[in-house]
Amino acid sequence: MIVSSIIKVFIPAAAAFAIGILFAPILTHYLYKYKVWKKTAGKMALDGTPAVEFERLRTTFHTGTETNTPRMGGILIWATVVFVTFAIWLLARVIPTPFMVKLDFFSRSQTWVPLFTLVAGALVGFANDLLDIHPSGERGIRLRTRLLFVTLISSFIGWWFYVKLGVTAIGVPSDGTLYLGALIVPLFILVSLGLYAGGVIDGIDGLAGGVFGSAFMAYAGIAYFQNQINLAAFSATLAGAILAFLWFNIPPARFWMTETGTMGLTLTLAVIAFMTDTPGDGYGVAALPIIAFPLVVTVFSNVIQVASKRLRGKKVFRIAPLHHHFEAIGWPSYKVTMRYWIIGVVCAILGMTVALLK
């Protein structure tokens, strides 16, 4: 039983990596053919002022990359996951051998919600990326509109957790359970918005892929030990697809993840965290700030920077978010990326430990 469950988790993950590797050259061909990148470089700071320090970084260390590196690389991740999920589901019906039936992880109780979330977030992000590359120089969907979309999607999913799945509490390590009732819905919305804000970690080649990969691997392990094997297989499939993306995203990146990747992944991470909480008799939500620590740091560095500029009239960091601050003080981008990877793996291990405490 244990061996078959491990196979059910590992084979889809390996398939996602292999198919992603095979699909990437096709995607790359079309991204370059249709010049899927920003037509004009530049960025605004979080407070609406010109991002002077960011422009200095771009012209010093990343000359030309913003206007000749394709966006929408996140398509590779969610398209691969969708393909692997439904390919295995279809094969289990066309070739209903015990092995293929066992391998099928597409289930209403564990897979439908995170898969819907991944696709919904990815499609909204895709629309943003289309506007971002428009020759008119549009800078995507306005932030407040994107936040509204995230709120609407997460409101529906939070309602689903509360009404359909009966989730009314979150686990608290050592203290048991914190009952929230209907407040579980606004909590899920807040967590989703917070994780989505951390999506700006997609700012250095290889950075986002490594961070998201370790996070989803951690939740695959948590779900597995909770005997939520279908959810574990889905999370592992996501990790496999992310690693395929990372293969082509390490410096110099062949493409960037952008919103079609980060929006879907951050929202899905929130869903899986809640599904590995009380539904799995664990502490998936409590472990989230640890597992997603690089995302948390990214969000708080932005908050601190904006608050300091408004209240004190000066910055705390040379540039926010934090990974760009390290670049600004002289760290090579590859050093920032690799150290974030190390922190991400360590946090994933610590978070798994917390989530499985009994």
In the chain, domain spans: 2-355
User: Given this model, what pLDDT does residue 265 score?
Assistant: 98
The H-or-E segment that residue 178 falls in is strand 176-179
The residue type found at 289 is P
> pLDDT tens digits for 146-162?
999 999 999 999 999 99
Answer yes or no: is pLDDT of 45 > 70: no
User: Given this model, what pLDDT does residue 137 score?
Assistant: 57
CA dist 137 and 193 (Å) reads 27
C-alpha distances out from residue 20 to 43, 132, 168, Å: 31, 25, 37
C-alpha distances out from residue 337 to 1, 19, 202, Å: 39, 25, 11
DSSP H helices, 68-171, are 75-94, 98-103, 112-132, 143-159
More confident residue, 341 or 136: 341
Q: Give the phi and the psi of residue 341 in degrees, each rounded to 5.
A: -60, -45
CB 126 within 8 A of CB 79: no
The DSSP annotation for 43-87 comes to -B-TTSSB-HHHHHHHHHHSTTGGGTS---TTHHHHHHHHHHHHH
User: Given this model, what pLDDT does residue 175 score?
Assistant: 73
Q: Tell me the percentage of the chain whose pLDDT exceeds 70.
A: 90
User: Given this model, what pLDDT does residue 63 score?
Assistant: 45
By the 10 Å C-beta count (0-12 exposed, 13-18 middle, 19+ buried), 338 is classed as middle
Q: Which pair of structure tokens corresponds to residue 9?
A: 């988790």
More confident residue, 356 or 336: 336
> What is the largest distance, in Å, between two alpha-carbon atoms of the chain?
67
CA dist 201 and 197 (Å) reads 9
By the 10 Å C-beta count (0-12 exposed, 13-18 middle, 19+ buried), 305 is classed as buried
CA dist 170 and 323 (Å) reads 31
- CA triplet 279, 169, 114: central angle to 5 degrees? 45
The H-or-E segment that residue 259 falls in is helix 259-275
User: Given this model, what pLDDT does residue 133 score?
Assistant: 86
> pLDDT tens digits for 49-108?
555 565 666 555 554 466 688 999 999 999 999 999 999 999 999 999 999 999 999 999
The residue type found at 159 is W
CB 316 within 8 A of CB 305: yes
What is the chain's Cα-based Rg?
Answer: 20
User: Given this model, what pLDDT does residue 64 score?
Assistant: 47
Rounded to an integer, the average pLDDT of 192-215 is 96
User: Given this model, what pLDDT does residue 46 score?
Assistant: 52
Answer yes or no: is pLDDT of 215 > 50: yes
Q: Tell me the percentage of the chain whose pLDDT exceeds 90.
A: 81
User: Given this model, what pLDDT does residue 235 score?
Assistant: 98
- CA triplet 229, 190, 216: central angle to 5 degrees? 30
User: Given this model, what pLDDT does residue 2 score?
Assistant: 60
Q: Give the phi and the psi of residue 172 in degrees, each rounded to 5.
A: -120, 115
By the 10 Å C-beta count (0-12 exposed, 13-18 middle, 19+ buried), 242 is classed as buried
* CA end-to-end distance (rounded Å), the chain: 23
pTM: 0.93
The H-or-E segment that residue 172 falls in is strand 169-172
- Give the mean pLDDT of the chain: 91
Rounded to an integer, the average pLDDT of 23-32 is 96
The H-or-E segment that residue 348 falls in is helix 333-355
> pLDDT tens digits for 308-345?
999 998 999 999 999 999 999 999 999 999 999 999 99
CA dist 5 and 27 (Å) reads 32
pLDDT band at 219 (very low <50, low <70, confident <90, very high): very high
Q: Give the phi and the psi of residue 326 in degrees, each rounded to 5.
A: -65, -35
CB 28 within 8 A of CB 248: yes
